[in-house]
């Protein structure tokens, strides 16, 4: 699906909720063109924020329960989880600048 490391319902708790660093999670799908456009931007930010954040992806078609739990209605939707809690959310294709505005403040 994604160029980003994938997380599933089976390992979401250990990889995201129990993570010691903040985790950006992109909820997307194989068929989602805006997701494919967003991923290089997210990968770039993950490099820029190395050591401050981890970047993962969830395939909404394979992880329906997670998609429902977090109220994802459209893709891409990106969440920032800090200490197991979703603290920020972005829906749709966003510019790099907009993503920085939304998430950087939570990364210390």
Q: What is the CATH number of the domain that holds 49?
A: 3.40.30.10
Q: Which residue has the tokens 């708790």?
A: 13
For 30, the domain range is: 12-107
Residue 4 lies in a domain: no
- Predicted pLDDT of residue 57: 97
**Catalytic residue at 96?**
no
Sign for the pseudo-dihedral over CA of 45, 47, 53, 59: positive
Q: How many residues does the chain have?
A: 108
Task: Single out the catalytic residue among 7, 32, 41, 99.
Answer: 32
Residue 6 lies in a domain: no
pLDDT in tens, 17-55: 999 999 999 999 999 999 999 999 999 999 999 999 999
| β-strand pairing of 77-82 with 54-59 | unpaired
- Predicted pLDDT of residue 3: 76
Q: Is pLDDT above 70 for 83? A: yes
**pTM attached to this predicted model:** 0.94
Task: Single out the catalytic residue among 4, 16, 24, 35.
Answer: 35
């Amino acid at each position: 699906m994604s160029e980003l490391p994938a997380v599933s319902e089976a390992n979401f708790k250990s990889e995201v909720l129990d993570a010691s660093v903040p985790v950006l999670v992109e909820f997307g799908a194989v068929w989602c063109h805006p997701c494919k456009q967003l991923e290089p931007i997210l990968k770039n930010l993950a490099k820029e924020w190395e050591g401050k954040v981890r970047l993962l992806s969830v395939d909404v078609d394979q992880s329906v329960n997670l998609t429902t739990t977090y109220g994802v209605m459209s893709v891409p939707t990106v969440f920032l989880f800090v200490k197991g809690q979703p603290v920020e959310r972005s829906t749709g294709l966003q510019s790099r600048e907009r993503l920085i505005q939304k998430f950087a403040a939570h990364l210390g």
